[in-house]
């Protein structure tokens, strides 16, 4: 089941690559009218301000980097960005939008990814909610390994808010982690989507080794900022 859903998610984002940005910029099926859209954009501004407050760092790793919406923000605070995604289509869009020699792209499935170096900042947006629960701890352990001692992790994800998704996505029971997603042409895919509560996310990140703060914006987003203070070794004895 897990392997199948991981492949479906990759296929979904490959097929969605050209229409992905409509979600973020509140276009087409995601346009909820001026007032609700403005709420979304205001909360995005809060996230961007918080991210920019990190200040300049040398090396950033962006996981599930997508079409460049956040890569372009990371370029404002990082000298070099390593961007990983499993979809060649979204990488192509990201590359052509940013056209930057400071971004290095890698086509990698994050469930087979093995970190081989460390970064000042590891960032991922709207990715953790797609990690199947049985793979979460091992994924976060790899994230921890990829942050240098003294470095940070910054995570952004979705809250359960019906107007965040497309107007033809049925509001499903949020306890069911398997959701159906449609493309503009009506094609359907199954994905994992988990809406974390702050305490739950904080607990997971602390167990991975981070000293962490988790916050919510008014409606749409949950975000976490964690520090790696020392090399953390899990002891089984
Ligand atoms: C919700 S999008 C987020 C993109 C970007 N972080 C943003 O916020 O705009 C999820 C991204 O995860 C990528 N993805 C899906 N499955 C993946 C996997 N197994 N390994 C790496 N990336 C994957 C997709 O191609 C897509 O770009």
237 lies in some domain = no
174 lies in some domain = yes
- Whether 127 lines ligand 1, by a CB cut-off of 6 Å, is yes
Domain that holds residue 90: 2-227
- The beta-carbon contacts of 30-37 under 8 Å, at least 24 apart in sequence, are 30/165, 30/166, 30/167, 32/163, 32/167, 36/163
More confident residue, 199 or 174: 199
172 lies in some domain = yes
* Segments in the chain forming alpha helices (H): 2-16, 20-24, 34-52, 71-74, 88-98, 133-146, 198-208
Across the chain, mean pLDDT equals 94
The DSSP code for 69 is T
- Whether 210 lines ligand 1, by a CB cut-off of 6 Å, is no
213 lies in some domain = yes
Q: Are 227 and 152 in contact (CB under 8 A)?
A: yes
Please give the Cα distance from 209 to 229 (Å, whole number).
Answer: 9
Please give the Cα distance from 123 to 51 (Å, whole number).
Answer: 10
Name, in order, each residue with C-beta under 8 angstroms of 232's C-beta and a sequence gap of 6 or more.
Answer: 144, 208, 209
Looking at residue 230, its pLDDT comes to: 78
Q: pLDDT confidence of 126, banded at 50, 70, 90?
A: very high
- Nearest-atom number in ligand 1 for the CA of 87 is 25
Which domain CATH number covers 114? 3.40.50.150
pTM of the shown model: 0.95
119 lies in some domain = yes
Please give the Cα distance from 218 to 42 (Å, whole number).
Answer: 10
235 lies in some domain = no
- Whether 88 lines ligand 1, by a CB cut-off of 6 Å, is no
How far the first Cα of the chain sits from its last, in Å, is 32
CA of 9 to the centre of ligand 1 (A): 8
pLDDT in tens, 2-15: 899 999 999 999 99
As for how many domains the chain has, the answer is 1
CA of 2 to the centre of ligand 1 (A): 16
pLDDT in tens, 141-152: 999 999 999 999
pLDDT in tens, 60-84: 999 999 999 999 999 999 999 999 9
Please give the Cα distance from 135 to 142 (Å, whole number).
Answer: 11
Q: What is the mean pLDDT of residues 170-175?
A: 70
35 lies in some domain = yes
Name, in order, each residue with C-beta under 8 angstroms of 17's C-beta and a sequence gap of 6 or more.
Answer: 67, 87, 89, 90, 92, 93
> Ligand 1 pocket test: which of 86, 138, 164, 192 has the largest number of ligand atoms within 8 Å of its C-beta?
86
Looking at residue 175, its pLDDT comes to: 82
Residue 234: pLDDT over 80? no
- CA separation (Å) from 23 to 29, 113, 138? 8, 27, 29
What percent of the chain stands above pLDDT 90? 89
CA of 189 to the centre of ligand 1 (A): 15
Looking at residue 168, its pLDDT comes to: 83
Please give the Cα distance from 218 to 47 (Å, whole number).
Answer: 12
Looking at residue 237, its pLDDT comes to: 47
236 lies in some domain = no
Please give the Cα distance from 88 to 10 (Å, whole number).
Answer: 10
Please give the Cα distance from 36 to 148 (Å, whole number).
Answer: 39
pLDDT in tens, 98-115: 999 999 999 999 999 999
Show the CA angle centred on residue 171, arms to residues 170 and 172, nearest 5°.
100
Residue 208: pLDDT over 90? yes
Residue 182: pLDDT over 80? yes
Q: pLDDT confidence of 171, banded at 50, 70, 90?
A: low
Please give the Cα distance from 61 to 82 (Å, whole number).
Answer: 5
């Amino acid at each position: 089941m897990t392997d199948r859903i991981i492949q479906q998610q990759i296929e979904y984002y490959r097929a969605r690559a050209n229409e992905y940005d409509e979600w973020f910029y509140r276009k087409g099926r995601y346009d909820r009218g001026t007032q609700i859209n403005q709420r979304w954009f205001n909360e995005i501004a809060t996230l961007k301000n918080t991210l920019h407050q990190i200040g300049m760092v040398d090396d950033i790793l962006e996981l599930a980097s997508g079409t460049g919406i956040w890569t372009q923000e990371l370029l404002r605070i990082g000298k070099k960005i390593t961007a990983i995604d499993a979809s060649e289509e979204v990488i192509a869009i990201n590359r052509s939008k940013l056209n930057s020699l400071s971004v290095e792209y890698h086509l990698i499935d994050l469930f087979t990814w093995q970190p081989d170096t460390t970064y000042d900042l590891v960032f991922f947006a709207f990715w953790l909610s797609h990690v199947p629960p049985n793979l979460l701890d091992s994924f976060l352990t790899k994230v921890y390994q990829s942050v240098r001692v003294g470095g940070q992790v910054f995570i952004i994800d979705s809250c359960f808010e019906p107007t965040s998704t497309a107007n033809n996505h049925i509001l499903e029971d949020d306890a069911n982690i398997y959701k159906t997603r449609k493309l503009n042409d009506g094609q359907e895919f199954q994905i994992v989507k988990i809406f974390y509560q702050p305490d739950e996310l904080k607990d997971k990140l602390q167990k991975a080794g981070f000293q962490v703060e988790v916050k919510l914006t008014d409606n749409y987003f949950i975000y976490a900022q964690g520090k790696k203070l020392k090399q953390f070794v899990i002891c089984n004895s």
